[in-house]
Every structure is written in structure tokens, then in C-alpha cells.
Amino acid sequence: MKEDKKLTAAELPAGGMLEGGTAEEFKTGPWRSQRPVWNKDKCIHCLTCWIYCPDASIKIAPDDKKTTVVTGIDYDHCKGCGICARECPVKIQAITMEEEKK
């Protein structure tokens, strides 16, 4: 990994001010001990997982009919909390948690 040159007190913006949206560059995926696996065929695209995900790691996009559908999981940021698997409707179970392979 490339070592970034860290800014000095004289160079840093005052008060810990940062540009917006920098969390995207901070990859929290490696924190995972379990990974959610999404089954595209079972999914009914109710977006419950998307609502509950505390890390905006459920990827969504409009389909051909401009309806918003789930397209996958953002493994760069998903911390593997399992909330999506838990909240996925009982009769559907489109998301299951699996041990993360190291």
C-alpha cells in the first residue's frame, strides 16, 4: 500500500474540516468476518435491505422499466453486520450470511 504524505498542522484545514463524501474512499470491507450473499433469483426487490443497511452497501439501480431494483452488494464498504439478511422477508431469504474466507 502506498504511504500517503500526511498533512501538517499548517497544511490541514482548521477545525478538522474535510471535503464531503470522503467516506467512500475509506474501504471498510476488510473488517468483515461474515459476508452477505445476495441471490438475484430469489430477490423481490422490496428494498427492505437497502433501507436497513447502516452503511449504504446495498447497490441499487433503475431497471429497463425505470423501477429501482437491487443490483448487488458493495463489498468494499459492507462490514458484514448481517442486518440485510435478518431484515430480508422470511419467505424470501434472498440474502444469507456466509463465513468470510481469509
Partner 1 sequence: MVKTVFSKGKIVAKTGNEVMAEAMRQIAPDVVAAYPITPATEIVQIFSQFVADGKVPTEFVAVESEHSAMSATIAASVAGARAMTGTSSQGLAYMWEMLYIAAGLRLPIVMAEVNRALSAPINIHGDQSDTMGARDAGWIQIYSENSQEAYDNMIQAVRIAEASKLPTMVTTDGFIISHCMEVAEVYPDADVKEFVGEYKPERALLDYKRPFTLGAIDLQDFYFEHRFQLAQAMRDSKKIILDVASDFKKKFGREYSFYEKYQMDDAEVAIVTIGSAAGTTKVVIDELRKKGIKAGLIKIRVYRPFPAEEIAKDLSKVKAFAVLDRADSCSGTFAPVYLDVVAALYANCASAPKSENYVYGLGGREISMEHIEEVYMKLDAIAKGIKKASTQLEYINVRIK
The residues that touch partner 1, with contacts defined as CB under 8 A, are 6-9, 12, 14-22
Residue 73 CB, nearest approach to partner 1 (Å) = 25
The C-alpha cell at 43 is 430477490
What lies within 8 Å, CB to CB, of 82 at 6+ separation is: 34, 36, 97
Return the C-alpha cell found at 102: 481469509
Q: Based on CB atoms, which residue is closest to partner 1, 14 or 90?
A: 14
For partner 1, which is the closer residue by CB, 12 or 92? 12
Residue indicated by cell numbers 450470511: 97
Closest approach of Cβ 12 to partner 1, in Å?
A: 6
